[in-house]
Amino acid sequence: MTYNKIFENKQDFVEQYREACLARYGTPFEELPAQERYYALAELIATKGRAIFPESHPKDAKKVYYFSLEFLIGPLLDNYLINFGIRDMVADGIKSMGSSLEEICRQEVDPGLGNGGLGRLAACFLDSMAHEGIAGYGNGMRYRYGLFRQYIEGGRQVERTDNWLANGFPWETRKDGSSVLVRFGGQVVRHEEDGRFWFTQEGGDIVRAVPYDVPIVGFGGNVVNKLRLWSAEPYTEDFDLDAFNAGDYARANKFRSDVEAISTILYPNDAGEHGRMLRLKQEYLFVSAGLQTILRTYERDFGPDWEHLGDHVCVHTNDTHPAMCGPELMRLLVDEKGVDFDLAYKVAKETISFTNHTVMPEALEKWPINTFRALLPRLYMIVEEVDRRYRDSLANHLSPNDGNWTDVLSKTAILWDGQVRMANLSIIFSHSVNGVSALHTQILKDSVFHEFYELVPQRFNNKTNGVSHRRFLCEANPPYAKLITNAIGDGWLNDAMELEKLVPFEQDASFLEGMEAAKRADKERLAAYVKETSGVDLDCNMVFDVQVKRFHAYKRQLLNVFKVLDVYNRILADPNYSPRPTAFIFSGKAAQSYTFAKEVIRLINSVADVINNDERVNDKIRVAFVPNFAVSNAQLIYSAAEISEQISVAGAEASGTSNMKLMMNAAITLGTLDGSNVEISELVGPENIKIFGLHADEVEALRASGRYYAWDQYNADRDRLGRIVDMLTDGALARLSGNFDSIHDYLMVDNDPDLVLRDFHAYVQAWDELTGAYADRAAWNKAALHNTAKAGYFSSDRTIREYMADIWHI
The residues annotated with a catalytic role in the active site are 357, 549-550, 555, 657, 661
- Residue 650 CA to residue 423 CA, distance in Å, equals 23
- Residue 573 CA to residue 470 CA, distance in Å, equals 46
**Which range binds ligand CR6 by CB under 6 A, 71-79, 355-363, 496-504, 557-565?**
355-363
Looking at residue 664, its amino acid is M
**Which range binds ligand CR6 by CB under 6 A, 43-51, 113-121, 243-251, 520-528?**
113-121
The residue of the chain with the least Cβ separation from ligand CR6 equals 117
Closer residue to ligand CR6, CB minimum distance, 110 or 653? 653
The percent of the chain in helix, strand and coil, each rounded to the nearest 5, is 55, 15, 30
Q: Is 443 in the site for ligand CR6 (CB under 6 A)?
A: no
End-to-end Cα, the chain, rounded Å: 23
Q: 368 by DSSP, 3-state: which?
A: strand
Q: Is 657 in the site for ligand CR6 (CB under 6 A)?
A: yes
- Nearest distance in Å: CB 114, ligand CR6: 9
- Nearest distance in Å: CB 171, ligand CR6: 24
Closer residue to ligand CR6, CB minimum distance, 322 or 656? 656
Full strand arrangement of the beta sheet holding 582-587: 621-626, 582-587, 543-548, 643-646, 668-671, 690-691
Size of the site for ligand CR6 (CB under 6 A): 17
Q: Is 357 in the site for ligand CR6 (CB under 6 A)?
A: yes
Would you give the binding string for ligand CR6 spanning residues 373-392, x where CB under 6 A is met? --------------------
Closer residue to ligand CR6, CB minimum distance, 436 or 476? 436
DSSP string, 302-315: H-S-GGGHHHHEEE
- Nearest distance in Å: CB 270, ligand CR6: 4
| Binding residue (CB under 6 A) for ligand CR6 from 110, 319, 522, 645 | 319
Cβ proximity of 546 and 585 under 8 Å: yes
- Nearest distance in Å: CB 385, ligand CR6: 29
- Nearest distance in Å: CB 644, ligand CR6: 14
Q: Is 122 in the site for ligand CR6 (CB under 6 A)?
A: no
Closer residue to ligand CR6, CB minimum distance, 225 or 437? 437
Closer residue to ligand CR6, CB minimum distance, 661 or 782? 661
**Which range binds ligand CR6 by CB under 6 A, 32-40, 112-120, 344-352, 415-423?**
112-120
Q: Is 796 in the site for ligand CR6 (CB under 6 A)?
A: no
Cβ proximity of 254 and 248 under 8 Å: no
**Which range binds ligand CR6 by CB under 6 A, 100-108, 117-125, 138-146, 586-594?**
117-125
DSSP-assigned beta bridge partners for residue 180:
209
Backbone angles phi, psi at 544, to 5 degrees: -95, 110
Q: At what angle do helices 10-25 and 87-96 cross, to 10 degrees?
A: 70
Cβ proximity of 475 and 635 under 8 Å: yes
Closer residue to ligand CR6, CB minimum distance, 357 or 378? 357
Would you give the binding string for ligand CR6 spanning residues 598-637, x where CB under 6 A is met? ----------------------------------------
Query: What part of residues 673-702 is at the interface with ligand CR6 (CB under 6 A)?
Result: 675
Q: Is 755 in the site for ligand CR6 (CB under 6 A)?
A: no
Q: Is 358 in the site for ligand CR6 (CB under 6 A)?
A: yes
- Nearest distance in Å: CB 755, ligand CR6: 18
- Residue 477 CA to residue 492 CA, distance in Å, equals 14
- Nearest distance in Å: CB 144, ligand CR6: 22
Helix (H) and strand (E) counts in the chain: 36, 23
Nearest to 352, CA basis, from 291, 299, 394, 280: 291
| Binding residue (CB under 6 A) for ligand CR6 from 473, 654, 673, 791 | 654
| Binding residue (CB under 6 A) for ligand CR6 from 104, 105, 118, 180 | 118
Q: Is 342 exposed, middle or buried (0-12, 13-18, 19+ CB in 10 A)?
A: exposed
- Residue 657 CA to residue 115 CA, distance in Å, equals 13
Beta-carbon-side half-sphere exposure of residue 757 (alpha carbons within 13 Å): 26
| Binding residue (CB under 6 A) for ligand CR6 from 656, 671, 693, 792 | 656
Closer residue to ligand CR6, CB minimum distance, 117 or 186? 117
Cβ proximity of 173 and 142 under 8 Å: no
Nearest to 586, CA basis, from 563, 613, 619: 563
Q: Is 146 in the site for ligand CR6 (CB under 6 A)?
A: no
Q: Is 290 in the site for ligand CR6 (CB under 6 A)?
A: no
CB atoms inside a 10 Å sphere around CB 40:
24
- Nearest distance in Å: CB 394, ligand CR6: 28
Closer residue to ligand CR6, CB minimum distance, 522 or 653? 653
Query: What part of residues 450-469 is at the interface with ligand CR6 (CB under 6 A)?
Result: 465
- Residue 76 CA to residue 542 CA, distance in Å, equals 32
DSSP string, 573-604: H-TT--PPPEEEEEE----TT-HHHHHHHHHH
| Binding residue (CB under 6 A) for ligand CR6 from 121, 313, 476, 641 | 121
Nearest to 80, CA basis, from 215, 248, 242, 225: 215
Closer residue to ligand CR6, CB minimum distance, 441 or 606? 441
**Which range binds ligand CR6 by CB under 6 A, 114-122, 491-499, 694-702, 721-729?**
114-122
Q: Is 547 in the site for ligand CR6 (CB under 6 A)?
A: no
Nearest to 94, CA basis, from 11, 4, 217, 8: 11
**Which range binds ligand CR6 by CB under 6 A, 12-20, 81-89, 116-124, 259-267?**
116-124
- Residue 223 CA to residue 218 CA, distance in Å, equals 5
| Footprint of ligand CR6 (CB under 6 A) | 116-118, 121, 270, 319, 357-358, 363, 436, 465, 653-657, 675
